[in-house]
Copies of this chain bind each other. A is one copy, B any other.
Amino acid sequence: MSNCIIAQSGGPTSVINSSVVGLLNANKELKTFEKVYGGLNGIEGILNKNIIDLSLISDEEINQFRFTPSSGLGSCRYKLKDIDSCSQEYENLINILREYDITTFFYVGGNDSMDTIAKLSKYAKLNNIDITFMGIPKTIDNDLKFTDHTPGFGSAAKFIGTTALETYLDASVYINNGIFILETMGRDTGWLAASACLAKLDNKPVVDFIYLPEVAFNKEKFIKDVKQKFKEQNKVYIIVSEGIRDQNGKFVSEFQCVSEDKFGHAQLGGVSNYLRMLILKEGFTNRVKALELGILQRCAMHCASDTDLKEAYNVGKMALKYASVGQTGKMVNINRECNEPYEVVYSVVDADKIANNVRYFPTEWINSEGNFVTDDAYSYFEPLIKDLPTLTFEGNLPKYKVFNQ
């Protein structure tokens, strides 16, 4: 019996380790491979033979690892060169895999990782190498083509929705509250920012406006929106994606936005702070706060979606099953069969169709004003954030376990 290896790549998520455990446990059941190796720090680590035997780790530690956020096998941002221009790396990698008697390589990641899977499987086919390559989807950005959604997104959406609700309450306690701007990730797409619509009080959304990269940002329209809403309710709660662009496609975050606060200090920051400056310049309120969620939104396991965790586990399990019947150069796909009750089935899609491709937030789910989402977005989001995981605690904080340190 031969062995397999699994590695992680790109930005971490809260649920990426669950995919590794799903694969590990499926192999315990199916006994497809003798050993399941873990490659530390993705391709970059494997090329340096940073490889551990995951089969040797105790069940207890594996279960902690399953509920640990971030890439617990380490990650990398390493893109293989084109096969034509440089085959040396490919040869080196194949030699290392052969040395460990590895016949299947699993890679958990997003677009770039699927590029790696596509290239490696192509190289193997061209050179009659009997090693298969299988991709496992992961990204909080939810921007992979074909799959209904990506593992990692549901947990990020749940944290964003929860946080929008809680910060809205905090930002609404005074008689004069002013304006609050929360900035989410999403360099190319608005999935994360849009998920803030889930935050509701007395069954009404608390967020007034959501600005997405899919809608060209218009300064004048923005000011008009905010001024009008402030006049109506004496407070405004705004969500903005880091990736919003103007009508020329230029990132708004790249605009200069130095100005001076009341102490004469220059004030600067990301998109949210730029919007803050735009509002302050108008002079109708001086109470404007901006907050970036930053990496919190992709590692908040304490507020993860159990549905997301289970699906991350299942795509790992399914990857093993598909590999065991000889599939290669594919990524496991999640297809939503039904919304009520929520039900998904799994399939595979060619990895090269995922690589270097982007799935945008649907235009038809954006309102006509371009500053909020429609009911379709709710139906899409709601099942993805269901239930909370049961974590293990130690000293009253979650007990986590990683293998890359």
Contacts and interface: CB of A to CB of B under 8 A. Distances in A.
Interface string A262-275: 01011111000000
A394 interface: yes
A266 B255 CA distance: 10
Interface in A176-203: 198-203
Contacts of A158: 396-397
A166 B299 contact: yes
Given A268-B266, A268-B267, A402-B201, A299 B169 contact: yes
A396 B385 contact: yes
B397 A385 contact: yes
Nearest to A256: B265
Interface stretch (A51-59, A112-120, A290-298): A290-298
B77 A174 contact: yes
Contact of A44 (B74, B175, B254, B401): B175
A119 B403 CA distance: 59
* Copies in the assembly, this chain: 2
Contacts of A8: 173
Most chain-B Cβ atoms within 10 A of its Cβ — which of A202, A256, A295, A305? A295
Given A45-B175, A256-B266, A397-B161, A169 B294 contact: no
Nearest to A201: B400
Contact of A75 (B162, B173, B258, B387): B173
Given A169-B70, A172-B404, A268-B269, A162 B397 contact: yes
A398 interface: yes
Contact of A295 (B162, B167, B266, B396): B167
Chain A interface category by residue count: 35 or more
A232 to B, nearest CB: 14
Nearest to A295: B170
Contacts of A12: 169-170, 173
24 contacts: A8-B173, A69-B166, A69-B169, A70-B166, A70-B172, A74-B174, A76-B174, A77-B174, A162-B398, A163-B296, A166-B301, A167-B295, A169-B299, A171-B295, A198-B395, A198-B397, A201-B405, A203-B394, A291-B292, A291-B294, A291-B295, A305-B396, A385-B396, A386-B396
